[in-house]
Amino acid sequence: MRNPETPLRIGVYVCHCGTNIAGFLDVEELAAFARTLPGVVLARDYKYMCSDPGQELIKQDIQEYRLNRIVVAACSPNLHEPTFRNAAEAAGMNRFLVQMANIREQVSWVATDRQEGMIKARAHIAAAVRRVALHEPLERQYVRITPRVLVVGGGIAGIQAALNIADAGREVILVERQPSIGGHMAMFDKTFPTLDCAACILTPKMTAIKTHPNIKLLTYSDVVSVDGSVGRYTVRIRRRPRYIDEQACVGCMQCIEGCVFTRPKFPNEFDQGLGYRKPVYIPFAQAVPPVPVIDPKVCLYLSRGKCTQTCVKACGERNAIRFDQTETYEEYEVGAIIVATGFRAFDPTPIRYYGYSTYPNVYTALEIERLINAGGPTAGQLVLPDGRTPKRVGIIHCVGSRDKKYHPYCSRVCCMYALKLAHLVKEHTGAEVYNFYIDIRAPGKAFEEFYQRVENEGVRFIRGKVADIRPVSQAGVSAHSPSSGNGDGNTPPDPSATAQAVQLSPSAPAYQAQPAKKESATPIEPLLVRVEDTLLGEVREIPLDMVILAIALEPQPDADEVRRLFGISCSTEGFFLEKHPKLAPVQTANDGVFLAGACQGPKDIPDTVAQASAAAAAALALIDAGQIELEPNIAWIDETMCSGCRTCILLCPYKAIHTDLERNVAVVDPALCKGCGTCVAACPSGAAKQYLFSYEQIDQELEGILNYV
């Protein structure tokens, strides 16, 4: 409690914020009002309180008028509370004797009626004045930071962030859910707009992860719990059994060769199910770590307990195959966390009029990436399921994007990857390629130039959203279309094209899937695509052998669980929410947790890498400070009133309270307390209290509000 001997000397400062506040509220009148409040010895209004001269004003007044409390009526304390606390401290005042009244976000920006705005602004100022009168000097508390960073997700974002931090000499724990790092980028063939081979630029970084002395790589693992807070998180990681000892395995792949299944039989997830793998497999040739994994659902020994275990024989004395492996858990203490969990590719099945999963020649873009990739199921041959090379290929843009029924947002990368695929399809097959687009969005560096290049290569562009895809034999209504076969290259497909099965590379290694999932012996019927050419202003029907859907990027299916795990928020679309869209793009509402890559929103590789490095820099800035200042508004226990009932201990979401067994009282760990106030509200005897949120302070704040409205 304030020493009643010392008279209150409160200074109130009303900020104009240019015209942000003064354009709507009468700031002079607010200052005059403040002068009438008890304890206020001085009130001023000033153009920009946060400016140097504005802060100087506070410092001078503190000394000249012996002020002992400060109220700044300006913007949100999120923005400038530290500014004014620093100013007060510089003038010799305890920094926690400053209170802000938010008359910008809460009043001038949102109120529509000036008179009512003035009433509300006065209430805010009065509340701050009455509250600050009860503020007490508090000491700043610090906690040591563990100089280690957890990176969650081993796609290009996580890889980049982990390497940056490790290169700066700090330890990184990199956790990846899949058997290999690499993420979506590892599935791509080439990257836009430069057409570098994705694997060629990614695999050196993947290898660097594996060999870096500062990086501990945990694949086939996921984070199951996060305790503690900024600077001192304890994370628990579940390691799923690979049934192969990572230390003992040398990556010779003899087990795959030796597996009792002589041919790959099970859909390979990495190849989007277009190719096959064995029960013991490696997702792709350059996988890191280069250690196979055994799928317990299909492995004969693990699923039925009966197998001759030819893989074990093949492994020989290395003895790396461990059927007895079970799930294990590891715990690490880290100072900061980078969430880089990526995106999921939209499943277009619900858009029934595109016939995906009905017609075998309708593909997603990701499937095409695998088909044209030399490491993919057809060894890089872009062929139809019947083995023929397509002569006419259409790429439909915005599938699942810019559509209220699916995702209202633009997925940002589809235009460019569609252009890239148009180029690659033409290069691989010589086919006539159509792009069906709504708007081409090519705002990146060298993007527009790439767009022009693809146009000049003869790729056709039709502005319109495709409404219907059907085999030509079903296209009854089309007979009425005046614009089919109108000489604009709409010649019907060549029905006499005979099936020419493509010879798959006979030397394909065992881990490479061989036949394509959509393999078909009968010739695949061409499709008729119905679209309004909005520039011509007529409905057209265009026959195509193959349709590629440029699918949206959407949040991972478990984004909500991950969000809860790390105490962060999501935007309405389900992507993780940054602290500020412009000024804190990699920070989150949870200090010490940072974001990188497409988990925050759809983005391309250059943006992902840039954001990952930004997240790494932000994490390094945090952990290299060595210690962190704690929020002062933490809970404390008045031991004279505590009965040791432990109600607070059970309720504390941060495990910040324990019982001192000798004295039988609760004790709050100031490093763990986040100031949520749960214990304060729950304590039956009123022993749990909170700095800056005492009952008296809150009462007075409410009095202030209610007396003036």
Partner 1 sequence: MLQKTSSGLDFLEQLAATGEGDSPLGCMQCGLCSASCPLGHAMEYPPRRLLLRAAAGQLDRLLKSPTLWMCVGCYLCSFRCPRGIELTDGLWPALRDRAMQAGIQPPTELQETFQNLLKYGNVLGKSPRQRLQWADGLDVPVLDLSKQPQPVEVLWIVGDYPSYYPRNQPVARAFARILTALGVRWGVLGTKECALGECDRMFGEEGLFEMLVEKNRQLLQGLQFKMIVVLDPHEFRAIEHYYPRYGMRYPVEHYVTFLANRLPELTARMVRSVEATVTYHDNCCVGRRYQCFDPPRALLGAIPGLKLVEMERNREDSLCCGGGGGGMWLDAHIVAHGGYRLSDERIKMAARTGAQILAVSCPFELSRFEDAAKVTGLEGKVQVRDIVELLAEAMDLVEKESV
Applying CB under 8 A, the span of 221-229, 493-501, 525-533, 638-646 interacting with partner 1 comes to 525-533
Quick check: 519 binds partner 1 (CB under 8 A)?
no
What residue spans of 176-299 are helical by DSSP H?
198-211, 254-258
List the one residue from 405, 496, 557, 582 that touches partner 1 (CB under 8 A).
Answer: 405
Quick check: 470 binds partner 1 (CB under 8 A)?
yes
Quick check: 531 binds partner 1 (CB under 8 A)?
yes
Closest to partner 1 by CB, 281 or 436: 436
Closest to partner 1 by CB, 7 or 482: 482
Closest to partner 1 by CB, 542 or 599: 542
List the one residue from 42, 119, 260, 438 that touches partner 1 (CB under 8 A).
Answer: 438
DSSP result, 662-680: TTTEEEE-TTT-----HHH
Quick check: 466 binds partner 1 (CB under 8 A)?
yes
Question: What tokens does 351 get?
Answer: 């858009």
Quick check: 87 binds partner 1 (CB under 8 A)?
no
Closest to partner 1 by CB, 175 or 466: 466
Q: Which residues of 540-556 are buried (b: 16+ CB within 10 A; e: fewer)?
A: bbbbbbbbbbbbbbbbb
Quick check: 487 binds partner 1 (CB under 8 A)?
no
Quick check: 477 binds partner 1 (CB under 8 A)?
yes
Closest to partner 1 by CB, 404 or 582: 404
Quick check: 573 binds partner 1 (CB under 8 A)?
no
Q: How far is the CB of 244 from partner 1 (least distance, A)?
A: 46
Closest CA to 457 of 490, 489, 431, 485: 431
Quick check: 474 binds partner 1 (CB under 8 A)?
yes
Closest to partner 1 by CB, 297 or 404: 404
Query: Which residues on neighbouring strands pair with residue 174, listed in sequence order?
Result: 151, 217
Closest CA to 285 of 503, 505, 502, 501: 505
- Amino acid in the structure at residue 190: K
Closest CA to 356 of 479, 273, 437: 273
In angstroms, the Cα distances linking 229 to 42, 235, 579, 606, 670 are 40, 11, 17, 31, 11
**CB count in 10 Å sphere of residue 494:** 12
Distance CA 315, CA 319 (A): 6
Contacts to partner 1 from residues 620-659, by CB under 8 A: none
Closest to partner 1 by CB, 93 or 399: 399
Q: How far is the CB of 485 from partner 1 (least distance, A)?
A: 13
Applying CB under 8 A, the span of 52-60, 310-318, 466-474, 604-612 interacting with partner 1 comes to 466-474
Quick check: 439 binds partner 1 (CB under 8 A)?
yes
- Amino acid in the structure at residue 372: I
Cα-based angle 147, 151, 157 (whole degrees, multiple of 5): 130
Number of chain positions touching partner 1 (CB under 8 A): 31
Applying CB under 8 A, the span of 27-35, 381-389, 524-532, 569-577 interacting with partner 1 comes to 524-532
Distance CA 655, CA 74 (A): 36
Task: Report helix angle 605-624 to 156-167, nearest 10.
Answer: 40
Quick check: 604 binds partner 1 (CB under 8 A)?
no
List the one residue from 4, 92, 482, 557 that touches partner 1 (CB under 8 A).
Answer: 482
List the one residue from 11, 154, 283, 464 that touches partner 1 (CB under 8 A).
Answer: 464
Question: What tokens does 702 get?
Answer: 């409410």
Exposure of 151 by Cβ count < 10 A (0-12 exposed, 13-18 middle, 19+ buried)?
buried
Q: How far is the CB of 536 from partner 1 (least distance, A)?
A: 10
Quick check: 468 binds partner 1 (CB under 8 A)?
yes
Interface positions with partner 1 (CB under 8 A): 352-353, 398, 402-405, 438-439, 463-468, 470, 474, 476-477, 480-483, 530-534, 537-539
